[in-house]
Chains A and B, each alone.
Chain A
């Protein structure tokens, strides 16, 4: 076998091809230039030039979440690398597998505050699963092999590779390793049999069991296993925000999302349950509300691949460390088919008494209605990519997610500006799917520049801006908890339809509810990207709501009040 000599840049490209990479989101610069210069030799690697590096990281993240593959983003040293940081942190908190490749100044300049030098491995150390500073071209193949392996296995996460400029140009022998040698990294996939037996016993004995399913179910692809468990023992299922679409929401045992803006009946179910089966979720404070009052009557089984999540936030009676799919497969064999008729009736009664997501009649254009109509027009076939804040909660609540893995949202970090680039990444990853970006007028302006990218690259994302002229979720907190003092929340946004036009995609502005469906239909009929600016009721609140610091059971429901108008900015 002849071993070829190649440059570092070629070794990286060869390795990326071997890892099955199809697309790279990035922006070049001096320190990553040798790598970019090599890209044309590898036409199978599609490069999408974003307009800000944050967009590259979010796009790689969105791509990774819809495809289950590793997303790749690339930037130059210094500001290019630091601009990736928010996107990397976002991927880290939501366990999304991305590889970030950054240029670095040449080895001789490292540590000397050279032009555009930054210690990006130091900066990203707490927000990556692992990172590398590649100090010789001979190590690149191994590093890329390890990076992809780390990113996608176990609990997935971002891995950053920092590449000094001269390492990209250095010659080395290329040999792509078949396996990785990481003695400190051995994710546990099989659950411990004794623990699984204990869990089965608790499930078989429970009177009021409840499943809380998280994104781990989606990552593991355990849709069938989850359904089997729920159906075998008639166990109601609620999900976390990122768990939405791991279980069909129209299923008779589905009781929606729990948490701060979860369904009242879902939260009441958690409060009343005698057994919680937490699957692939991490008891985030937005899901548990006041931890000391979380599931006060329940014993808790916690299934998660990350041992560090066990017992971190809540006491757990039966921890099972392992891959959700593998563990559920083993667990399901030990479950006695049973019925919990009274318990399910109880939940159904709560759902009738506390419908939580009924949309009231209103003259004005309600944001909830926009989401509902997107659901109706797309027949639930779309992938919804949300921003963060009220738009996110309405998108989570008022669309009925039956299709697996059909909502992409920034859960852990809560990154406004995630929506547009992530939707772009999702559409690039799943070009056959309908992708709707549900944005807020605040967050949308944080990464609005990616409109240029979706036009240039013909990425047919449909954009619905829920435009209430406020940083809406914060305004809601100000209204409810800060004496309605709207400090720094009113926004004066542009006419987004005109902005769209300027970027080269069609835009519509919708002010009346009668125009909602025609606008959505028009967007669907159009073959390219399309933007709709929905001018919704400015002071609409997200309900139900568990106030910060309260227990899940202390859920506030929508007060029967007239919507009072906040003097809104004049619309151009």
Chain B
């Protein structure tokens, strides 16, 4: 079956074990999660998760439904086909000598990346963008000698005023009020 890359976004309760519950649904089906990013959302006690996974659309849809059944998952959507903004952050440590440092800086400027650390024989670059931009920066830097790379994985959001996940309508009114008050 043809596999495609899917981006799932979820709003989950900030409780121990949630990530494990979610990840195991992919593991059970032999999916390799390409990236999974968890962080606080705009509401207390709720985290937003972005998962990127390769799989057949029907299988991913089945996992999405199973994810929705996890009690601590408030909502989950597959936003692959939607008009989305997707970004990733990467840190790259590159060998740099006094001879080629300026060349590296030039590349960094073209990519609107930043140099966040400089040592006598290396520079560390921070870059934000979609996967393609980050990959092409890597390709250019490879020639200098890449010592280390760290990537966050994709975070994503749909464009426009309303996302696929409307928190307020999913929460009981009492709880929403309580959260506004606090």
Q: Hey, which bits of chain A sit against chain B, CB under 8 A?
A: 121-122, 125-126, 129-130, 133, 150, 181-186, 306-308, 310-312
Assess whether B66 is interfacial by the CB under 8 Å rule: yes
Contact of B69 among A122, A308, A310, A311 (CB under 8 A): A308
Q: Is the beta-carbon distance between B17 and A129 smaller than 8 angstroms? A: no
Q: Is the beta-carbon distance between A150 and B71 smaller than 8 angstroms? A: yes
Q: Is the beta-carbon distance between A185 and B71 smaller than 8 angstroms? A: yes
Task: Give bound CA distance, A126 to B28, whole Å.
Answer: 9
A-B contact pairs, 8 of them (CB 8 A): A125-B24, A126-B28, A181-B174, A183-B175, A184-B13, A184-B72, A308-B68, A311-B61
Q: Is the beta-carbon distance between B175 and A181 smaller than 8 angstroms? A: yes
Per CB-CB distance, the 4 closest pairs between chain A and chain B, nearest first, are A308-B65, A184-B74, A130-B71, A183-B171
Assess whether B53 is interfacial by the CB under 8 Å rule: no
Residues of chain B lying within 8 A (CB to CB) of residue A307: 65, 68-69
Task: Give bound CA distance, A523 to B149, whole Å.
Answer: 75
Residues of chain A lying within 8 A (CB to CB) of residue B75: 184
Q: Is the beta-carbon distance between B20 and A122 smaller than 8 angstroms? A: yes
Assess whether B94 is interfacial by the CB under 8 Å rule: no
Assess whether B12 is interfacial by the CB under 8 Å rule: yes
Residues of chain B lying within 8 A (CB to CB) of residue A183: 13, 74, 170-172, 175
Task: Give bound CA distance, A182 to B171, whole Å.
Answer: 9
Interface residues of B, CB < 8 Å — how many?
A: 26
Q: Is the beta-carbon distance between A306 and B69 smaller than 8 angstroms? A: yes
Assess whether B136 is interfacial by the CB under 8 Å rule: no
Assess whether B73 is interfacial by the CB under 8 Å rule: yes
Within 8 A of A (CB), among B7-41: 12-13, 16-17, 20-21, 24, 28
Q: Is the beta-carbon distance between B17 and A184 smaller than 8 angstroms? A: no
Q: Is the beta-carbon distance between B70 and A184 smaller than 8 angstroms? A: yes
Q: Is the beta-carbon distance between A181 and B28 smaller than 8 angstroms? A: no
Q: Given contact pairs A182-B71, A312-B62, enumerate 17 new A-B contacts (beta carbons under 8 Å).
A: A126-B28, A129-B71, A133-B16, A181-B172, A183-B172, A184-B12, A184-B70, A184-B72, A184-B73, A184-B74, A185-B71, A306-B69, A307-B69, A308-B65, A308-B68, A310-B65, A311-B58
Q: Hey, which bits of chain B sit against chain A, CB under 8 A?
A: 12-13, 16-17, 20-21, 24, 28, 58, 61-62, 65-66, 68-75, 170-172, 174-175
Considering only CB atoms, which chain A residue lies closest to B27 in the complex?
Answer: A126
Task: Give bound CA distance, A308 to B71, whole Å.
Answer: 14
Considering only CB atoms, which chain B residue lies closest to A130 in the complex?
Answer: B71
Query: Of B69, B72, B170, which is in contact with the most chain A CB atoms at under 10 Å from its CB?
Result: B69
Residues of chain B lying within 8 A (CB to CB) of residue A130: 71
Q: Is the beta-carbon distance between B62 and A184 smaller than 8 angstroms? A: no
Task: Give bound CA distance, A126 to B171, whole Å.
Answer: 26
Q: Is the beta-carbon distance between A125 and B172 smaller than 8 angstroms? A: no
Residues of chain B lying within 8 A (CB to CB) of residue A311: 58, 61-62
Query: Of A125, A133, A184, A307, which is in contact with the most chain B CB atoms at under 10 Å from its CB?
Result: A184
Whole-angstrom distance between the Cβ of B82 and the nearest chain A Cβ = 20
Task: Give bound CA distance, A427 to B174, whole Å.
Answer: 43
Residues of chain A lying within 8 A (CB to CB) of residue B62: 308, 311-312
Residues of chain A lying within 8 A (CB to CB) of residue B61: 311
Task: Give bound CA distance, A421 to B56, whole Å.
Answer: 42
Whole-angstrom distance between the Cβ of B157 and the nearest chain A Cβ = 20
Q: Is the beta-carbon distance between A125 and B17 smaller than 8 angstroms? A: yes
Contacts A183-B172, A308-B62; is A125 near B21 (CB within 8 Å)? yes
Task: Give bound CA distance, A185 to B75, whole Å.
Answer: 9
